[in-house]
Structure 1
């Protein structure tokens, strides 16, 4: 009996301890301490197995702390519904979270599946998955409009929101400026955010110590994204809602972020003033003021918006008061997050969003101001955007500025300087179109041509003469190019018009098969074919004849034979060290190659990519696979080649043309080893 009582007592103690541990994990989660919440939930999963609310909370905890591989591990279980309870349903928001996590890991095709599911569950939204994937590839592979580099004053702490005013760069950081006795922010386990300043030369190199902003702007709570008026004497900034240094909470015990402003007097920032339209029940943050100081832009999750955070404006009146916040509408805002607005001197709106289609997490978009209306947002593409969070973009002159990112899987944010080198707004380019005979490469006479945009609107329609070509000024983007002529099969070709003058797009037409006339011999009953039938049979091409035709066709890259296999003999497709994006010189080569593949529609290829010997074997293997995939995606993207016709494989450093293990290789030697090969696998 004594033994039984002891056992029951121990069992009760064990259950009590576990229940305490479990409630402790939930308390961490409720208080926004996602780092400790994840650790506690891991223990619970180890002891009790999968439970739905634990899967939900641990997924959110890892997502909010940028541990996306771990978030994916549990989201995969949650969205499968296989391992927890009888209720296998889950909130639609986890489909969107899965889309974000998979995008951050570079798994775009899987990510689009979850985005489509998320949108379909919203009833009013649908997604064309193939179009979405090709759009994402366009963001990755478009010509760079910017060059970027990390600034020297980044640290292991977070830095973001850089603004340059004269010779001083101001930025937000969670590096400590209040001494060791202050509390850390529960979400990050790091100090609260403050605003800092550093003087720089004309190359943005520091010429002074980095110091916290003087005066009364910084406090023991968060001070975040900010902007200055045109004279530099007023600062608008995001700050934890507080009174007399103490946090103010909403009805759910959340401490919202509010907008404040401060005035500089004799070089010193005075006591901040909270803007009147703040409300303790929601956040208003990320200010940007127009060049004429008459309009304030900001982000808020106030009721009545389109989703999570939306972008709003408020009139700054002459008497210093503010107009009612106005939502910028559905062309800018989505059901998800739009934050970090920046209004340029020209009135163009830059902002970050995870609701518009992008490369993953938050991407930077721009909406051009035309006739006092913001146009449809355009994704700035790589290298500004990555698969992680990219945000807080600002310019300090017409071409140069800063943005922030936690790319490379970092848990802290870094500031990057950029220079704009290309056109970010759509403009028309003179583009050349041709209709040619598949067999002869000659122009197809009297061809009827149609060019339609993605919305099936007619861009151009005409019947050409003996010279089947035309030039047209069109915006970059996707089009359907259709051509037909008497005696030829009609062909419709999807194309991607690039940001380039006088680019050439060719559509090939094949001749219609000749109608066979046959009859029976009255005496023998044998089938007698016409002369046309005999000619057709004579013209039918065998596999061997196609092989010989490929070897003899000198239009575009030639075909060569090596070790009994056929290869397209392209000029080298080179890659920069440690990168897999398609270089400008390689794009020219691949564009010509795409025309050849368009001509020979029954040819299938395998793209083999190789790296140099620098780096580890495992890293080089992954890098070569990315390079092969990037090459395949570019050929598919420009509209000529069905991706199913192209295999790709990476070989890492396993098959070098120059053995750098037995000699000291030059940079040119390494460049030769970084290459792609194109084998014909089927024809």
Structure 2
């Protein structure tokens, strides 16, 4: 359904809008296609390249440009088809290989994308972008298996078969950006769709006429998105440069006019919006500015630009309002938040957090939404919003209406049009259940000495375990008595004169429990009661072993680790029929492959020690999972404390059979 998006307003050259140049001679089919391609008129270029590709399949350049045009139009299925053809015949350039890998991510083929990227690294070397893409493939698969506690749904009233995006609540209204209604004659050559404008809906999401619509949509090019100050008296809008002195670009002896983006603002006085005023730092001849966001107090203006000093293709910048109300010289927000690729679509959350989209950090594919904590050039945390807010394609403009609800935009396949507006709701998890009280076991005290009362309960539920087998032995291993508990989990033994006894409880489906050192002398005075707890066996359930430590990068067992493994050895000896898997896990730091190898060596080291203590080799399997089973958010590309990473560094065992 979805084949077009207007996210390219800011991508691939950061919002270049050419006016078609004319050749002096009548070009052929390929020349026309190349002309449209060089002028970013991809919607027309694909029509011609399709004809060439069908008739001249050996025209590698035309097929590559056909694939690239579909990619830039967000028709990922069509792009994959043509990239695949060139990749299999080894005809892709290095940059085209990366584009192919990104398209594979966009269609959800993460393993295949990762394989292409690994091959790229071997052939061309690596880079921060390639590393982020590889980490993103791993993260995406994990995030989709463990979605965050956020519900999302398509906003059915505002969305159409066109593009609608960037919705936010303002004064009981919903404002958003959309392909213009009734502007059929004004189309954007990149996608072949109408230019963008600003629209307003009331609380019931019915379209209403706004004064801002008239003011902002009075241009034949793009307008949107818009942001308001917290007081609602100032609005900043992103618009295409409309002046006569557009920047120029020379492509194969032809001149294209480049219409970059600018920020404009208007101030409300006496209930009416004033004239549009250009942002002081606009310079459409040299760079773009747009996608503004204001701090809660209105004294910091964040925006996106590719101005000199940018780290990547577009960075997040900020200005500070001085005492006179003027904006200071722009300052880059820094490498903690900006990448070599694009950072776009800024919004400020209810608590002052910054939301933005990026395709330069580890993500699921296309643009992912991130949350950043901090301000100006100081940022302590940048976190991916995870699935289902993020998807394999472009996700952007995360706007909070309340602490738990709001909007975001996406061009995912299940939408109605090119870009769609989605509603999100953060699910508040219920409070954890109150801890179960320790079972209170009332056993009638013996009236005479030499009686031992044994009560067997379920460790998880505290309920009695009937028909459990009890083994009573003296300390010499003799005088063994085997009985079963009654319906209340109880059995009482009459003891002889042996000084010390041991009792053990067993039942199929449970791990056994025992009590040593029961002294007959004490029992003779007042009798005794013993409670044994049987732990239910749950197959394949991971049980953590505490205090298993290794030196960094090593797999040799420390002395303290052996102490903990000795406890597991006792369990195996007491339960001679169970078979287990012992697994080792790392955190996400380091490469995936090295972590996998290290964890396998650590698991084998622990298993070898257990076998050396008399446990049959057939009863235990060593398995290293590396970073594939993380317990928290600290996956590739996510900044975490060492304490958070420590949660993922663990040794576990799971019972496979009994």
TM range (shorter): 0.5 to 0.7
2:324 corresponds to which residue? 319
For 2:410 and 2:92, the matched residues in 1 are separated by 34
1:26 corresponds to which residue? 34
1:97 corresponds to which residue? 99
CA deviation after TM superposition for structure 1 residue 494, in Å: 1.0
Q: Equivalent residues in 2 for 1:90-489 (5 A)?
A: 90=93, 92-116=94-118, 121=124, 123-125=126-128, 127=131, 133-151=137-155, 152-177=157-182, 182-200=185-203, 205-206=204-205, 209=208, 213-219=212-218, 220-243=220-243, 248-251=246-249, 253-280=257-284, 281-369=286-374, 373-408=378-413, 412-421=418-427, 449-450=547-548
2:585 corresponds to which residue? 494
For 2:116 and 2:381, the matched residues in 1 are separated by 24
For 2:302 and 2:617, the matched residues in 1 are separated by 67
2:131 aligns to what SS in structure 1? coil
For 1:266 and 1:257, the matched residues in 2 are separated by 30
For 1:153 and 1:73, the matched residues in 2 are separated by 33
Q: Is the 8 A contact 1:93 1:118 kept in 2?
A: no
For 1:453 and 1:319, the matched residues in 2 are separated by 58
Q: Is the 8 A contact 1:449 1:461 kept in 2?
A: no
For 1:440 and 1:682, the matched residues in 2 are separated by 12
Is the aligned partner of 1:43 residue 2:48?
A: no
Q: Is the 8 A contact 2:132 2:360 kept in 1?
A: no
For 1:338 and 1:442, the matched residues in 2 are separated by 58
1:67 corresponds to which residue? 75
Q: Equivalent residues in 2 for 1:492-531 (5 A)?
A: 493-494=584-585, 510=607, 512=609
CA deviation after TM superposition for structure 1 residue 66, in Å: 1.4
1:657 corresponds to which residue? none
For 1:325 and 1:289, the matched residues in 2 are separated by 14
For 2:283 and 2:376, the matched residues in 1 are separated by 33
Task: Compare CA radii of gyration and give the structure with the larger one.
Answer: 2
Flag the 1:389–1:89 CA change in 2: closer, same or farther, 3 A.
Answer: closer
Where structure 2 has 5 or more consecutive residues not aligned to the other structure, the ranges are 1-23, 251-256, 430-434, 436-508, 514-544, 574-579, 589-602, 632-655
1:57 aligns to what SS in structure 2? helix
Flag the 1:262–1:110 CA change in 2: closer, same or farther, 3 A.
Answer: same
For 1:417 and 1:379, the matched residues in 2 are separated by 18
**Count of aligned pairs:** 466
Q: Is the 8 A contact 2:30 2:62 kept in 1?
A: no
CA deviation after TM superposition for structure 1 residue 51, in Å: 2.6
For 1:247 and 1:117, the matched residues in 2 are separated by 45
CA deviation after TM superposition for structure 1 residue 421, in Å: 2.4
Q: Is the 8 A contact 1:116 1:127 kept in 2?
A: no
Instruction: Return the structure number with greater relative CO, CA threshold 8 A, min gap 6.
Output: 2
For 2:85 and 2:337, the matched residues in 1 are separated by 34
For 1:357 and 1:32, the matched residues in 2 are separated by 28
CA deviation after TM superposition for structure 1 residue 393, in Å: 0.8
Q: Is the 8 A contact 1:349 1:368 kept in 2?
A: yes
Q: Is the 8 A contact 1:240 1:256 kept in 2?
A: yes
CA deviation after TM superposition for structure 1 residue 251, in Å: 4.3
- TM-superposition CA deviations, 1:347-401 (whole Å, max 9, x none): 3121111111111111111122289831342111111111111101111222221
Q: Equivalent residues in 2 for 1:521-600 (5 A)?
A: 541=618
For 2:246 and 2:303, the matched residues in 1 are separated by 21
For 2:206 and 2:550, the matched residues in 1 are separated by 55
1:637 aligns to what SS in structure 2? coil
Q: Is the 8 A contact 2:225 2:291 kept in 1?
A: yes
CA deviation after TM superposition for structure 1 residue 63, in Å: 0.6
2:399 aligns to what SS in structure 1? strand
For 1:127 and 1:327, the matched residues in 2 are separated by 24
CA deviation after TM superposition for structure 1 residue 99, in Å: 2.2
Q: Is the 8 A contact 2:133 2:362 kept in 1?
A: no
For 2:44 and 2:137, the matched residues in 1 are separated by 36
2:216 aligns to what SS in structure 1? coil
For 1:511 and 1:313, the matched residues in 2 are separated by 58
CA deviation after TM superposition for structure 1 residue 449, in Å: 2.1
2:84 corresponds to which residue? 76
301-310 or 110-119, larger mean C-alpha shift: 110-119
For 1:254 and 1:297, the matched residues in 2 are separated by 24
2:547 aligns to what SS in structure 1? strand
Q: Is the 8 A contact 2:166 2:177 kept in 1?
A: yes
1:171 aligns to what SS in structure 2? strand
CA deviation after TM superposition for structure 1 residue 20, in Å: 1.8
Q: Is the 8 A contact 2:546 2:564 kept in 1?
A: no
For 1:335 and 1:80, the matched residues in 2 are separated by 29
Flag the 1:375–1:28 CA change in 2: closer, same or farther, 3 A.
Answer: same
Q: Is the 8 A contact 2:198 2:213 kept in 1?
A: no
Q: Is the 8 A contact 2:410 2:422 kept in 1?
A: yes
